[in-house]
Structure 1
């Protein structure tokens, strides 16, 4: 017999750290005490899902997503939370799961502090009382977000709020403010002096590499600030890094903050705001660059703005990488387009400095490789068919059994109300019916899960057949094919290529 599975869900946001009652340990204790009092906990399997440091305003949380996937796979019988706000503060999304998703998969939902058990509220979320708790929780979260944001913006306007991370060329002083870093400030000054002579960003990167100056990422990593993976840098500066430095107003003593805004409460996605909504505070900290030099560089450096430029589309867009340094190769759009490694332009001795791959030849080679792979991995006689008739019949049979058992249970209750049977007899027979209904439910869930697996396998086989026909009939490489099949294409100095496929499971 399939085990009864209980899922305990625990969430702790950054704001909740202030309250001991919300701690993970406290939630863990409350949930386990409740489980031990449940009759269903005998021989049940108890799983625990913890999202630590995540907001409840949305469901972009790793463990809650894992839990929902298990529910959809019919592997969870009951979910228990300390209160509604632990599962989610968004009333619409939380209500959708409790009213629609969980009942569909016969998953019971219990909120201990709210005295809510979905088995006692068939098809709803407990009426107005629970609905108001949803709304209070949601608006509390939004109100806290707005107050925090307002306080932060007020500090920005006064110049009190500062990022923990200083721009390259600066460091934190003893009082927590920004001051020039003697080691890196000299590099920033060198970049501006070179730019003022009229040379471009690419030429500046070559000069920095020639002098052996570490990149900003490498410098921070060497001083214990591991913000990025710098294993591929090898002292090679990028043009974009140089350009960002040249246009950064913080180097003339102006503090610029509040350039981006979070799109939704509790989310991580953000967008760039218009410049007039930024907070710019002149003379906020010591300048590294004189204002006259900064303005001269802005006038000298060419800025290209082509809003009507046609966006080029080609089959391997964003998929061609250097086999030596693992950086994306640039596609040079000439009469005969080719790929090259811009990251190695400063280092003439690097292996990938000489890489030049003809774009048309590469696309042809990739298509030929796909066709060869097809011959090896996907025999043409595969028909990709599965039959679900037997499973569908079993599902229908169990549904009828459940309907009959529920009718018999209702009839038993009516006989008790009419005084035709005693209370003890009613309880005894009701227990028998409940046990039989649970047994049929579990069998129905198992068959449903089996049917779902068969449907997924049928979809995979159909998908494999579509891939077979797409590749076999293709005369040239297309974006549709590469987006479907290819993760990356690596190019090596000896013109050898390597392909990383997206669809290993479809080829098995």
Structure 2
């Protein structure tokens, strides 16, 4: 009786340029053809093909990956076929957890047909561990390279965000440059004028909501942008007004690099203190004058000091404990 096998395929940004010859050889279709041919030649009965596209090999929550592991534990098949071990994972911790611990307990044999990985061969273990380390080092180097590229773009005054802040839009001819979005820019100017004339942030939010002016999240969706926010609402919030009043982008200064990943293996972001931010003046047209912006900052700071006289000092001391790099 032939053994049942599962085929797992994965492709992600790690595989470099999607149009390159290397990437074409790594394509989902080519992986499937190669693995189906292998299964046929070795008389494996195909149980299912699991595919994750646009997921990193460091991501342990890939949908098809998680589903395959659950099916493996349930005993639906006895063999997992991948083109290489790196298609399964680039995380050394996952290599140890599954290939060397759980798969033997579940009665699962893992085969990487191109790099010769086979958990049925005991002498193969050290090679698998070395391969796992190399794959993880590759991800770390790739992460460092991507970070360096983004750092250079930010230092050159190029916008690298997914969405422009309210009042701006990406230049259609250069997505790394911001241009004024006139309807939204007029609302930004009005918010500053109202605040400078003595209107409080709560009153400003209430007034814009009463006038049924779409807040930033709704406005972006109305412009056809694929912007999704769990807090999307037709109401203007106090925090939205404050964020607009505190945003130096409106003076023509691009401020980026406010946060960074905890590590190349984690999706968690950590906020950086202001002294670590990358500020490049004059990268795009200003909506608010520098003078008006500074006046607003002084007023906001004065109100905050009156409200939280001791809290600011504590926050300031904590901010200096976070490092930029």
* TM-score where L is the length of structure 2: 0.85
| Alpha-carbon distance, 1:61 to partner | 1.5
* Corresponding residue for residue 93 of structure 1: 94
- How far off its partner does 1:94 sit? 1.0
Deviation at 1:276, TM superposition (A): 1.5
Q: Does the C-alpha gap of structure 1 residues 58 and 210 become closer, same or farther in structure 2, counting only changes over 3 Å?
A: closer
Partner of 1:198: 198
- Contact 1:56 / 1:266 at 8 angstroms: preserved in 2? no
Q: CA deviation at 1:29?
A: 0.5
Distance 2:279 2:67 in 1: 43
Q: In the alignment, which residue of structure 1 is the partner of 2:168?
A: 170
1 CA distance for matches of 2:39 and 2:170?
50
Determine the structure 1 residue equivalent to 2:292: 293
- Mapping of residues 395-410 of structure 1, within 5 Å: none
Map 1:449-488 → 2, pairs under 5 A: none
Structure 2 contact 85–117 (Cα < 8 Å) conserved: no
1:108 equivalent in alignment to 2:109: yes
Q: Residue deviations 1:254-279, cap 9 Å, x none?
A: 10111111122153221111222111
Aligned residue in 1 for 2:75: 74
- Specify the SS of the correspondent of 2:145: helix
Q: Helix, strand or coil for the counterpart of 1:113?
A: coil
- Which of 39, 42, 54 pairs up with 1:38? 42
With over 3 angstroms needed to count, the CA separation of the structure-2 counterparts of 1:216 and 1:55, relative to structure 1, is same
Paired position in structure 1 for 2:272: 273
For residues 92 and 210 of structure 1, what CA distance do their matches in structure 2 show? 54
CA distance in 2, matches of 1:195, 1:85: 55
Q: CA deviation at 1:292?
A: 1.4
Cα deviation for residue 232 of structure 1 reads 6.8
SS at 2:9's partner residue?
A: strand
Q: CA deviation at 1:10?
A: 0.7
Report the CA distance shift for 1:230/1:147 in structure 2 as closer, same or farther (over 3 A): closer
The aligned counterpart of 1:141 is: 139
- Higher relative CO (Cα under 8 Å, sequence separation at least 6) belongs to 2
Counterparts of 2:165 and 2:194 in 1: how far apart (Å)? Answer: 20
Report the CA distance between 1:134 and its aligned residue: 2.0
**Does structure 2 retain, via aligned residues, the 8 Å contact 1:55–1:266?**
no
> 1:333 corresponds to which residue?
none
Deviation at 1:128, TM superposition (A): 3.5
Q: Quote how far apart the aligned CAs of 1:15 are.
A: 3.1
The answer to whether 1:247 aligns with 2:246 is yes
Contact 1:80 1:112 in 2 (8 A): yes
Judge conservation of contact 1:198–1:300 (CA < 8 Å) in 2: no
SS of the residue aligned with 2:5? strand
Aligned to 1:283: 282
Equivalents in 2 of 1:148, 1:229: separation in Å?
26
Q: Output the CA distance in 2 between the equivalents of 1:163 and 1:116.
A: 40
Deviations 1:69-100 (A, max 9, x none): 22222333111110011011122321221110
Q: Determine which structure has more spread, i.e. the larger CA radius of gyration.
A: 1
Paired position in structure 1 for 2:181:
181
Determine the structure 1 residue equivalent to 2:218: 218
- Counterparts of 2:251 and 2:37, CA distance in 1: 61
Paired residues of 1:89 and 1:137 also in contact (CA < 8 A) = yes
- Local SS of the residue matching 1:264: coil
Once residues 152 and 265 of structure 1 are traced to their aligned partners in structure 2, the CA distance between those partners, rounded to angstroms, is 14
CA distance in 2, matches of 1:189, 1:284: 19
Per-residue CA deviation, residues 426-473 of structure 1 (Å, 9 max, x unaligned), is xxxxxxxxxxxxxxxxxxxxxxxxxxxxxxxxxxxxxxxxxxxxxxxx
Aligned-partner Cα distance in 2 for 1:63–1:113 = 21
Q: Distance in 1 between matches of 2:69 and 2:172?
A: 48
Q: Which residue of 1 aligns with 2:62?
A: 61
Q: Quick one: distance in 2 between partners of 1:289 and 1:231?
A: 27
8 A contact 2:150–2:160 mirrored in 1: no
- The count of residues paired between Structure 1 and Structure 2 equals 300
Contact 1:90 1:134 in 2 (8 A): yes
Scaled by the length of structure 1, the TM-score of the pair is 0.56
TM-fit CA distance, 1:158: 1.6
